[in-house]
């Protein structure tokens, strides 16, 4: 009887420790990039005629400018085998509310959310074609004021994008030229968030390195 009690207690202990470890492990996987209170680690991107960047109700808000406006991350980030997760929403305006520029190895690209009048999702650029022209283009409805969960995974051979946990982009980039779209957006390198004639808010911005299982 005593042996049964010991075994039962041991199983309970292992189960309890497992429950306690799971949230901690999840927390350790992700590195927060925005504290919800300050602009620490961020600086306005020096686009001509850009709108101001400010903290509004715990969000990072990029205000509408003449054209491009944005905010650049000032700390180091990985170049490959990582993913970025954030929530973004459009407050006002009619074009992209999330232009997420990231490194891809020794080059860079931009995930466009809500571009070309508000509906295009895609990656600029692949083989010289921007998000509206290449195979990553998707047409979605991005409601003003609604938060969208966005996740961008960067690997040496593949780029993947989820919106609200649905995967929309899964593109093999082996043998293809990945680069920024030519123009002022190029100063958004290496890691930034930008808008076009649009005010947007961001929160829960975080990054994690991929595991071996993620890359299978």
Residues in the chain predicted with pLDDT less than 50, given as ranges, are 1-26
- Residue 215 has what pLDDT? 83
Q: Residue 16: its pLDDT value, please?
A: 40
Q: Residues 128, 130, 133, 139: what is their CA dihedral angle, to the nearest 10 degrees?
A: 160
Task: Specify the pLDDT at position 15.
Answer: 38
| Separation between Cα atoms, residue 144 and residue 14, nearest integer Å | 47
Question: Rounded CA gap, 39 and 35, in Å?
Answer: 8
pLDDT at 28: 59
CA gap 214, 46 in Å, rounded: 35
Residues 30-63 have pLDDT tens digits of: 999 999 999 999 999 999 999 999 999 999 999 9
Tell me if the bond preceding 197 is cis, omega within 30° of 0: no
pLDDT tens string 144-166: 999 999 999 999 999 999 999 99
Which residues contact residue 118 at a Cβ distance below 8 angstroms, ignoring those fewer than 6 apart? Answer: 90, 94, 95, 96, 142
Task: Give the pLDDT confidence score for residue 216 in this predicted structure.
Answer: 79
Produce one character per residue of 161-186: b if its CB has 16 or more CB atoms within 10 Å, e if not: bbbeeeeebebebeebebbbbeeebe
């Amino acid at each position: 009887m005593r042996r049964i009690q010991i075994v039962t207690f041991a199983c309970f202990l292992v189960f309890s420790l497992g429950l306690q470890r799971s949230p901690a492990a999840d927390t350790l996987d992700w590195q927060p990039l925005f504290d919800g209170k300050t602009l620490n680690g961020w600086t306005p991107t020096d686009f001509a005629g850009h709108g101001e960047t400010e903290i509004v109700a715990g969000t990072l808000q990029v205000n509408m400018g003449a054209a491009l406006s944005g905010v650049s991350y000032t700390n180091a980030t990985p170049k490959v085998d990582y993913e970025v997760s954030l929530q973004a929403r459009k407050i006002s305006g009619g074009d992209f509310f999330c232009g997420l520029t990231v490194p891809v190895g020794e080059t860079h690209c931009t995930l466009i959310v809500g571009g070309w009048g508000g509906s295009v999702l895609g990656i600029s650029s692949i083989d010289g074609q921007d998000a509206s022209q290449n195979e990553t283009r998707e047409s979605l409805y991005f409601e003003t004021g609604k938060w969208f969960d966005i996740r961008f995974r960067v690997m040496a051979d593949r780029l993947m994008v989820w919106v609200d946990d649905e995967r929309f982009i899964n593109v093999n980039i082996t043998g293809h030229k990945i680069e920024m779209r030519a123009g002022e957006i190029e100063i958004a390198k290496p890691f930034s968030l930008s808008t076009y004639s649009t005010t947007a808010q961001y929160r829960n911005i975080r990054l994690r390195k991929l595991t071996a299982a993620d890359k299978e």
